[in-house]
């Protein structure tokens, strides 16, 4: 699932695995036209994997601090603090009467030319949060 950005911004991508582990796949600034294509590998135990994508015009300083704390000490307390911050950002965005986020359950494979990918256009608030859940 490539993520293509049409304006300079900050992007944060984290995954919470079925065994409740949290891993940061990407965190940092992105230039206009840059691609991010995080790689996820599904491992046992079977269950729900949740991918959290936060895109913001400005740096999310609290989120960046939580990610930095995980890099220094990847304990469960730091990972829980990161997830709480992602949920806080998502909650703050939803207060502005954006269309509510709907759960997206997905599975399958993609086919075709990898240079011609489909995407979603978004314009709205300064911050966008998307959660993708995959059952395996």
CA distance 27 to 42: 21
71 falls in which pLDDT band (50, 70, 90)? confident
Q: Give the model's pLDDT for residue 19.
A: 84
Q: Give the model's pLDDT for residue 72.
A: 82
Comparing C-alpha atoms, which of 50, 51, 52, 5 is closest to residue 29? 5
Judge whether 9 and 55 are in contact, CB under 8 Å: yes
Q: Give the model's pLDDT for residue 35.
A: 75
Give 136 or 69, the one with higher predicted confidence.
Answer: 69
Cβ neighbours for 85, distance < 8 A, ≥ 6 positions apart: 60, 62, 63, 66
Q: Give the model's pLDDT for residue 10.
A: 93
Q: Give the model's pLDDT for residue 88.
A: 93
Give 127 or 42, the one with higher predicted confidence.
Answer: 127
Q: Give the model's pLDDT for residue 65.
A: 93
Decide if pLDDT at 44 tops 60.
yes
Decide if pLDDT at 16 tops 80.
yes
Q: Give the model's pLDDT for residue 133.
A: 86
Burial class (CB in 10 A: 0-12, 13-18, 19+), 52: buried
CA distance 13 to 26: 5
Q: Give the model's pLDDT for residue 130.
A: 87
14 falls in which pLDDT band (50, 70, 90)? very high
CA distance 60 to 81: 14
Q: Give the model's pLDDT for residue 46.
A: 84
Q: Give the model's pLDDT for residue 97.
A: 52
Mean pLDDT computed over 43-55: 86
DSSP 60-77: -HHHHHHHHHHHH---HH
């Amino acid at each position: 699932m490539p993520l293509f950005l049409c304006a300079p911004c900050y992007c944060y991508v984290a995954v919470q695995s079925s065994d409740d582990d949290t891993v940061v796949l990407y965190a940092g600034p992105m230039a206009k036209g840059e691609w991010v294509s995080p790689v996820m590998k599904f491992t046992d135990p079977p269950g729900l994997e949740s991918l959290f994508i936060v895109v913001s015009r400005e740096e999310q300083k609290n989120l960046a601090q939580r990610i930095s704390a995980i890099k220094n000490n990847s304990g469960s307390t730091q990972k829980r603090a990161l997830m709480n911050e992602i949920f806080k950002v998502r909650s703050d965005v939803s207060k502005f009467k954006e269309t509510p986020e709907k759960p997206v359950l997905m599975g399958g494979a993609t086919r075709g030319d990898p240079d011609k990918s489909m995407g979603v256009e978004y314009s709205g608030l300064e911050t966008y949060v998307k959660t993708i859940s995959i059952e395996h």
